[in-house]
Structure 1
Amino acid sequence: MKKIGMGLALVVGLTACGRAPGPASGEAAATANTATALPDNIDETGAPYARATRALAEQRLISPAGDNAIEHYLAAREGAAETTQAQTALAELQPYVLIAAEQAIGRGDATEAERLRMLIERIDERAPALPRLHAGIAALRREQAAQATIAALETPPPSVAVVPRPTASPPSPTVASEPAPPPASAPSAASPAPPPAPVVVETARPSPAIVRAAPLVRTPRLLQDAQPRYPLPALRARIEGQADVAFTIQPDGSVRDVRLLSSSPAGLFDASALAVAQRWRFEPSDQAHASQRTVRFRLPAGAEGGAD
């Protein structure tokens, strides 16, 4: 038997063929299926289903484009032999594609978000999240277009920056060298003309900046922690990882505006980390606080993970 790192799609296929134990309730049954074997008679480089299994084991869930587990499962679904297994795997992996699409919108990558939205549409053209993703991508592109227009309007034309203002030409030497004839009644020894008064230019001195130390804001103390659920695909494949989440601590100590900063491996633990952050409770304070934590998923602790 040949071992691979990730066994989600294979577990689904073997269960359909009667070669894996049937569904069990509770996390003890999930722990029993953490190690899965790849049959020797599967061509890992030929059929689309085998290529999808290899891509999933190599953590190529949604990228690169054209050579990832989702697209190989879509190709396998078109065949006659493994249609059911491929559709089951796609249904289980669809939430992770949705999370990746929302992350792309959050970081302003409209092109990647549209590619992932099209993958979800190929998986299920009636998926409930499709209208929301379409509206989010359209709003992102409108915002980026507006920002580009504002930046173009705020940029001064090149002529203003590089063309110097013309200076007045000096007086003609001919006019300056011709002395005016003295008047008839003027004395022979005329007193010299007084020099012009100097021009005094006063510049305002900048007032010294007032530097005030920012008050020290103490992050509220965590009162109620929670354990995240270990995702079943990662548990079966015995994969560990972590996810960094950012959130806002409300004045009453509850958590709002939870968002994902990063995760490793990408897409596997995102949903569990976002869900557990909603259950955290902190010490009440008189204002909101921005904070972040790292949710870690470690084996062999069964289906339990931990947070820093």
Structure 2
Amino acid sequence: MSLVLVDGHYYAYRSFYAIAHLTNSRGEPTNAAFGFAAALLRMAEDLQPVRGAVVFDGGVPRERLETHPEYKANRKETPEALEKQIPLLYEVAQALGWKTVSVEGEEADDVIASYCQAADGQNCIVATNDKDLMVLAARGVKIYQPNSAGFALLGPPEVAAKWGVPPDKVPELLALTGDASDNFPGIAGVGPKTAAKWITEFQTAEGVLAAAETIKPERFRPILRDSAEIVRRNRKMVELRTALPLPAPIAECQIAPDPQKQVELFRRLEFRRFTREAEARLASHKPKQADLFSPS
């Protein structure tokens, strides 16, 4: 049985920026809600999931802020037009049958990692493009990414081809390069290719630091010596927390679409195509008149 975990933060922003302008007749922004619905409908078609949850951020863990107070401080406030649609994203997900979860004070990445850990031998798929979550592919998890040809499920070979290191080494690579989107810089002048080369040779970020006096190109030797504290900080920042209490048990994440709710919601949002499709699903769910009087 597959358990599909959707990175709600990633898909909210992806949907919002993918469709620049979309409003209903009342002038309310609906672009993020439309894109979110389209993404979840496509996932259902692509993956045929049995269980699933859309995981939203609930804040930033105190431990990460203590390690690096400027963590994510560079991020702009959520655009007002997207902020207004966040409740709609929950409605969309729930109408399509997905459990919606978040944990106060915790990031979605860690909640997703905790679900994957708890699922153990189950077939887990994570829908995201977040580099921090690529490490999960080392534990049997597949990373779902739609593309022009359909979709891809990234496992260890695909992650290694993309990043230059196996999934379990991605955190080591990020310790060296940092992550500008999360506002923690890495070693000056070190990009993914150089970092991947070093990790391949020395296995870990700590191993790279230990080899600072022999590293090539030589110009990086003094920079590495001066960057040891930053690298060790980064390695702590990218470590996923995998033992969080689950906001909903896996058994309660059964996907159960509600066509009636879909029709009502999509009509209100004025998504005509989605409304027609939901009406068709509703009609197929309703018992035929003759069936109402047939013996059970």
How does the TM-score come out when normalised to structure 1? 0.21
Larger radius of gyration: 1
Structure with the higher fraction of residues in helix conformation = 2
Highest RCO, 1 vs 2 (Cα 8 Å, sep ≥ 6): 2
Q: Tell me the TM-score normalised to structure 2 length.
A: 0.22
